[in-house]
Structure 1
Amino acid sequence: MQRKRTGFTVLAGSLAIMLALSACGSGKNNNSSSSAAPSSSAPAGSSSSGNANEAAKMSIMWWGADERHQATLAALDVYTKQNPNVTFTSEYLAWDAYWDKLPTLAASKTITDVLQMDAAYISEYVAKGVLEDLTDIELSGIVDPAVIENLKIGGKLYGIPLSQNAQGVAFNKPELEAAGISLPQKNWTWDDFFAFAREAKSKLPDGKYGISDTSNAWDWYNWYQTGNGEEPLMSSDGKTFTLNKDLFMKYQGEFASLRKEKAVPPPDQVLAFKENDPTADPMASGVVMTRGATTGSVSALETLMPGKVDVVNIPNGPSGGGWAQSTIFLAVSADSKHKDEAKKFVKWFISDPEAGKTLGLTRGIPISPEIYKSLEDTLQPKEKLGKKVYDVSVEKALPFYSIAAGYTEWVDAFKSTMEGVMFDQTSLEDAYEKLNKLGQEIAAKNK
Structure 2
Amino acid sequence: MTKFSRPVTAASLAVVLGLALGACGNGGSQSAGDGNLRFSWWGSDPRHEATQKIIDIYETNNEGVTISGEFADFSGYWDRLATTTAGRDAPDVITMDEKYIMEYAGRGALTDLTELENLDLSKFPESALDLGRYEDGVYGLSTGQNAYSVMVNADLFAEAGVEIPDDSTWTWDDYYEISATISENLGEVAGTDYGALDGDLRIWLRQNGEELYSEDEPGTVGYSQENLLSWFEHLLHVRDTGGGISAAQFTEAAAGTFEAENFPTKKTAMGWYWSNQLGALRTATGDDIRILRVPSPSGNAEDNGMYYKASMYWSISSQSDDQAAAADFVDFLANDPAAAEKMLVDRGVPANPDMAAAIEPLLDESQQTVVSFLEEIEPEVSDSPKPSPIGAGTVQETIVRYVGEVLFDNLTPEEAAEQLTAEIEGMISAG
Which of 78, 81, 106 is the equivalent residue of 1:99? Answer: 78
| Aligned residue number for residue 331 of structure 1 | 315
Deviations 1:189-238 (A, max 9, x none): 33332232223234x321212211334x3432231122121233554864
Asked if the contact 1:71–1:362 (Cα under 8 Å) also holds between the matched residues in 2, the reply is no
1:310 alignment partner, one of 290, 303, 327: 290
Structural mapping, 1:174-185, within 5 Å = 174-185=155-166
Considering fraction of residues, name the structure with more helix: 2
**1:249 corresponds to which residue?**
229
Counterpart-to-counterpart distance in 2, 1:30 and 1:255: 16
1:159 aligned residue (124, 137, 140): 140
In 2, distance between residues paired with 1:401 and 1:180? 41
| Residue 57 of structure 2 corresponds to residue 72 of structure 1 | no
Residue 38 of structure 2 contacts residue 68 of structure 2 at CA under 8 Å; is this kept in 1? yes
**In the TM superposition, what are the counterparts of 1:410-429 in structure 2 within 5 Å?**
411-429=396-414
- 2:98 counterpart of 1:119: yes
Deviation, structure 1 residue 268 = 0.8
The corresponding residue for 2:18 is none
The residue aligned with 2:364 is 380
Give deviations 1:28-47, integer Å, cap 9, x for gaps.
Answer: 4389xxxxxxxxxxxx9959
Residue identity opposite 2:307 in structure 1: W
1:287 equivalent in structure 2: 267
In structure 2, the residue matched to 1:191 is 173
- Matched to 2:56, the amino acid is D
The alpha-carbon deviation at position 389 of structure 1 amounts to 4.3
For residue 263 of structure 1, give the secondary structure of its aligned residue in structure 2: coil
Amino acid at match of 1:29: K
How far apart, CA to CA, are the structure 2 residues paired with 1:166 and 1:142? 22
Q: For residues 424 and 405 of structure 1, do their structure 2 counterparts lie closer, same or farther at Cα, with a shift above 3 Å needed?
A: same
Q: Which runs of structure 2 are paired with 1:24-423 in the superposition (5 Å)?
A: 28-29=2-3, 55-136=34-115, 137=117, 139=120, 142-149=123-130, 151-187=132-168, 188-202=170-184, 204-215=185-196, 217-235=197-215, 238-261=218-241, 263-273=243-253, 274=256, 276-277=258-259, 280-317=260-297, 319-398=303-382, 399-400=384-385, 402-407=387-392, 411-423=396-408
Rounded Cα–Cα distance in structure 2 between residues aligned with 1:114 and 1:426: 42
Is the alpha carbon distance of 1:363 and 1:237 closer, same or farther for their aligned partners in structure 2, counting shifts above 3 Å? farther
* SS in structure 1 of the partner of residue 261 of structure 2: coil
- The 1-side partners of 2:43 and 2:304 are apart by 28
Residues 362 and 126 (structure 1), Cα distance of their counterparts in 2 relative to 1, 3 Å cut: same
Which structure 1 residue ranges, 5 or more long, are not aligned?
1-26, 32-43
8 Å Cα contact 2:341/2:362 also seen in 1: no
Note the aligned Cα RMSD (angstroms).
Answer: 2.9
Q: Name the CA distance, whole Å, in 2 between partners of 1:362 and 1:323.
A: 18
Contact between 1:169 and 1:292, CA under 8 Å: does it hold in 2?
yes
CA distance in 2, matches of 1:132, 1:201: 50
Q: Deviations over 1:310-356 (max 9, x none)?
A: 10123335643232132411111112121111111111112112122
Aligned partners of 1:332, 1:432: CA distance in 2, in Å? 37
Q: 2 CA distance for matches of 1:285 and 1:61?
A: 28
Which residue does the alignment assign to 2:16? none
5+ unaligned residues in a row in structure 2: which ranges?
Answer: 6-23
- SS state of the match for residue 366, structure 1? coil
Q: Secondary structure at the match of 1:194?
A: helix
Verify the 8 A CA contact 1:295 1:387 in the aligned structure 2. Answer: no
Confirm whether residue 435 of structure 1 aligns to residue 420 of structure 2: yes
Q: Aligned partners of 1:442 and 1:76: how far apart in 2?
A: 37
- The SS at the match of 2:321 is coil
Name the count of aligned residue pairs. 402
Provide the rounded CA distance (Å) in 1 between the counterparts of 2:49 and 2:139: 26
- Deviations along 1:48-79, one digit per CA (max 9) or x if unpaired, are 6666xx85111111111111111111111100
**CA distance, structure 2, for counterparts of residue 397 and residue 60 of structure 1:** 33
CA distance in 1, matches of 2:233, 2:4: 29
Bigger drift between 111-120 and 141-150 goes to 141-150
- Give SS of 1:229's match: coil
- The answer on whether the counterparts of 2:102 and 2:387 sit within 8 Å (CA) in structure 1 is no
Q: Is the 8 A contact 2:266 2:285 kept in 1?
A: no
One-letter identity of the residue aligned with 1:151:
G
Distance 1:425 1:313, change over 3 A: same
Q: Which residue is equivalent to 2:14?
A: none
Q: Secondary structure, in 3 states, of the residue corresponding to 1:365?
A: coil
Tell me the TM-score normalised to structure 2 length. Answer: 0.83
Q: TM-score, normalization: structure 1?
A: 0.81
Take 1:178 and 1:194, find their aligned partners in 2: how far apart are those partners? 18
Alpha-carbon offset, residue 242 of structure 1: 4.1
In structure 2, what is the Cα distance between the partners aligned to 1:281 and 1:107?
Answer: 32
Q: How far apart are the structure 2 equivalents of 1:156 and 1:125?
A: 13
Q: Decide which moves more: 90-99 or 241-250.
A: 241-250
Query: Aligned partners of 2:194, 2:310: CA distance in 1, in Å?
Result: 27
Conserved 8 A contact 1:312-1:392: no
